[in-house]
Amino acid sequence: MIIDLLSNAPLYYNQGPLFKKAFEYLAQTDFSTVEKGKYELDGQNLFAIVNEYDTVSPDNEQMESHKKYIDIQYIVAGAERVGHEFLKGQTPSKAYDNEKDFMLFGEKPSFFSVLQQGMFAIFFPHDLHMPNIMIDKAAYVKKVVIKVAVK
């Protein structure tokens, strides 16, 4: 996993052309005018999901992981906590769904990070993550999740 500011995104262009395209999209888009939804950037190789929600308690949440896509989660507005753990052979509590590209894990995160406006996190397939968690109380967040196909 990587956590950083969008202003440092050029440091990660070496991850490949899809990452460069994803970060350029994040830097050049005025998300105040973008509605919730899915936006293709390069077919199924690269797409963005814009979402708005109120953060939640971690009590009933589980960590997730993906196989086909790497997540770039960018906070447009608000702030949230994200739980983390490494995939080390844990047994999923919800088996992998190939169509939706996710599986869930019942273990509690080893640690949490706070993502604030202007920050992003990259979650690779070996990174378990629990996003959308409130800091002190439920609060509004607008977030863009860019799905980068694993090659």
Tens digits of residue pLDDT in 11-50: 999 999 999 999 999 999 999 999 999 999 999 999 999 9
Tell me what the mean pLDDT of segment 131-150 comes to.
98
Tell me what the mean pLDDT of segment 76-89 comes to.
96
Decide if pLDDT at 144 tops 90. yes
pTM (predicted TM-score): 0.96
Count of domains in the chain?
A: 1
Kindly give the pairing relationship between strand 111-116 and strand 63-65: unpaired
- C-alpha 137 chain-centroid distance: 21
Tell me what the mean pLDDT of segment 102-109 comes to.
96
- Helix extents (H) in the chain: 17-28
Range of the domain at 121: 2-149
SS3 100: coil
CATH of the domain at 40: 2.60.120.370
Decide if pLDDT at 151 tops 90. no
SS3 114: strand
Determine the pLDDT at residue 56. Answer: 98
Determine the pLDDT at residue 9. Answer: 97
SS3 149: strand
